[in-house]
Amino acid sequence: MRMWHAFLAAGALVGREIDQQLKGEGLSHTQYEVLVRLADSVAGRLRMSELADALYTSKSGLSYQVTQLEKAGLVRRETCPTDVRGIVAVLTEQGRTRLREVAPGHVATVRRALIDVLTPAQSRAIAEGLGEVGRRLAG
């Protein structure tokens, strides 16, 4: 029970810190993660279904966030060249620039709220334990 309560508290509090930092930058956490995933992908593009799976979010929730990013000029949608039913999210140059601007503050927040408060042994144990949970639940 102690582990469960610690997990809930830490997740909520770290999430709150990250949300506040990103909100100050004009982005939601999901929007930031979309930009990161697209920047890490081949040619800055991913099918919307792949993006939803990678972010562990619903397709409708992702669609809303991508629409907001489109309005800001950070992402655009295109028809998938290999499947006319598929939609691809594409990171724009403006999106790359915005990610470069926001990333240092995000990294600093994650370090301050999570990474730097743990010993290397604690970090390894948490990474291994939560990694196993993720693998089992992802199937």
Mean pLDDT taken over the chain: 94
The Cα–Cα gap between 91 and 113 comes to 28
Which CATH number is 78's domain given?
1.10.10.10
SS3 at position 74: coil
Structural domain of residue 113, as residue ranges? 2-138
pLDDT tens-digit map of 20-46 = 999 999 999 999 999 999 999 989 999
- pTM value is 0.90
How confident is the model at residue 1, as a pLDDT? Answer: 96
For residues 129-139, average pLDDT: 91
- Residue 82: what are its φ and ψ, rounded to 5°? -100, -5
Domain count across the chain: 1
pLDDT tens-digit map of 74-129 = 999 999 888 878 899 999 999 999 999 999 999 999 999 999 999 999 999 999 99
Question: Nearest Cα to 64, choosing from 111, 31, 24, 20?
Answer: 31
